[in-house]
Amino acid sequence: MERIFPCALLACIIEGRLPRPQELEYVTDRVLREAFGASAAYGRRHAAALARAALGGVGAVRPEADAVAA
């Protein structure tokens, strides 16, 4: 049984870091398979964008987010 959240995503969150290239590829492949049914290149570009969004925000804090929270 496959996990709900990919191990790559959990590792980035737990370690507070940006994804490694192979982790980004893995999540892209999974998004492509689960969200786009492994369709053509159009789906791959969108899957890669979703994977970057899911993994890329883990290590970055926006200064304006801190101002809103204060």
- Concatenating the DSSP letter of every residue in 26-61 gives HHHHHHHHHHHTT--HHHHHHHHHHHHHHHHTTS--
The tens digit of pLDDT for each residue in 14-67 reads: 888 888 889 889 888 888 888 888 676 668 888 888 888 887 754 444 444 444
pLDDT band at 1 (very low <50, low <70, confident <90, very high): low
Q: Which residues contact 56 (CB under 8 A, 6 or more apart)?
A: 18, 19
Could you tell me how far CA 22 lies from the centroid of its own chain? 12
pLDDT at residue number 43: 81
* Residue extents of the structural domains in the chain: 19-60
Q: Is 2 helix (H, G, I), strand (E, B) or coil?
A: coil
Query: CA 29, CA 2: separation in Å to the nearest integer?
Result: 14
